[in-house]
Amino acid sequence: MKVVAFFITAISRLPLSVLYLCSDILFLVNYYLIGYRRKVVRSNLTAAFPTKTKSEIQDLEKEFFRNFSDYLVETIKSFTISKEELNVRMQHLNRHHFDEAKKEGKNVIILAGHVFNWEWVSALGLLINQEHSYPVYRRVKNSFWNTQVVKMRNRFANQSVEAQDVVRHILSNPNDGNSIYMFVADQSPHFTQVISGLTFLNQPTPVFMGYDKLASRMDLAFIYCDMKKVKRGFYQVNYTRIEPEQTRFVPGEIVVKFHQLLQHTITQRPANYLWSHRRWKYSAHIKTML
């Protein structure tokens, strides 16, 4: 495994211009020969955008696989990319929301979706005044790859927290405005944990509810992460404060508002979303619609 880790690091040190050539080859091989989850992608796109023509769906499908190939090589680059280069390639807009949360003495929950390239948001902790930055991750079954993912996300002074431990971590951590938690919040819960759902991209969609419990129990600041691919290798993140309708969030409110914002992001730039994920495979298990 040390050889594999060395190989990953060596590839990661290549310039992105070279890695994008690899991405072009990967796209051609995957899209035209292997067809990795191509049927899943087409099915998801067709279900999400029922008014689009077959030709439009095919164009989106192809653009998605190009973006997906770029995402893969950019993720490899994440192991060694410098903070200086990342700050050039990732523009963070409206960071004043983090300053306001700090003044209010509220820890921050960042809610992002699987929009390319969410991995590059990890350097945010170096640009804001909060002292602690905790990316939230789901444990990978393979111990080697789990270690590599944590290693990658712990760069730039981050401290990754496993998803099953994050609620306990937040509840035990002082709510003093010095911490941010980064959630990729459109995760599908395991079918044994599917209870609530909502209509998302025209589909009944099971939703993860962990951060909803936090919203109703603690006075935290929730910030939405709107990702935009400006051009190849360059992204823009627009941060938006999610506010409750009343003084505090009621049960289910933050989940609904997050998915509304994410749906807007996806409909604006649909090829940038992770369509290869089987997002709706447990829809039949939903017991309550929000």
φ, ψ of residue 251 in degrees (nearest 5): -55, 130
Average pLDDT of the segment spanning 63-74: 98
pLDDT of residue 189: 81
Q: Is the pLDDT of residue 1 over 80?
A: no
Do 116 and 34 share a structural domain? Answer: no
Please state, in angstroms and rounded to a whole number, the distance separating the CA atoms of residues 162 and 46.
33
Do 19 and 42 share a structural domain? Answer: yes
Three-state DSSP class for residue 14? coil
Residue 277 lies in a domain: no
Q: Are 31 and 65 in contact (CB under 8 A)?
A: yes
Do 27 and 51 share a structural domain? Answer: yes
Residue 33 lies in a domain: yes
For 28-48, what is each residue's pLDDT tens digit? 999 999 999 999 999 999 999
Tokens of 225: 């992460």
Do 154 and 266 share a structural domain? Answer: yes
pLDDT of residue 268: 96
Can you give the pTM of this predicted structure?
0.94
pLDDT of residue 192: 79
For 130-163, what is each residue's pLDDT tens digit? 999 999 988 888 888 888 888 889 999 899 999 8
More confident position, 187 or 85:
85
pLDDT of residue 100: 98
Q: Label residue 193 by pLDDT band (50, 70, 90).
A: confident
Name 222's bridge partners. Answer: 109, 242
Do 43 and 176 share a structural domain? Answer: no
Q: Label residue 91 by pLDDT band (50, 70, 90).
A: very high
Please state, in angstroms and rounded to a whole number, the distance separating the CA atoms of residues 239 and 95.
7
Do 95 and 72 share a structural domain? Answer: no
pLDDT of residue 217: 87
More confident position, 272 or 211:
272
Do 167 and 57 share a structural domain? Answer: no
- The percent of residues in the chain predicted with pLDDT above 90, rounded, is 76
Domain-terminating residue out of 77, 102, 134: 77
pLDDT of residue 166: 92
pLDDT of residue 188: 82
pLDDT of residue 148: 87
Domain-terminating residue out of 23, 42, 77: 77
Do 152 and 64 share a structural domain? Answer: no
Q: Is the pLDDT of residue 179 over 90?
A: yes
For 199-252, what is each residue's pLDDT tens digit? 999 999 999 888 898 998 899 999 999 999 999 999 999 999 999 999 899 999
Q: Is the pLDDT of residue 191 over 90?
A: no
Average pLDDT of the segment spanning 54-61: 97
pLDDT of residue 60: 97
Do 128 and 208 share a structural domain? Answer: yes
pLDDT of residue 257: 97
The burial of 165, by beta-carbon neighbours within 10 Å (0-12 exposed, 13-18 middle, 19 or more buried), is given as exposed
- Domain extent, residue 27, equals 2-77
Do 16 and 140 share a structural domain? Answer: no
Q: How many domains does the chain have?
A: 2
Do 115 and 42 share a structural domain? Answer: no
Residue 284 lies in a domain: no
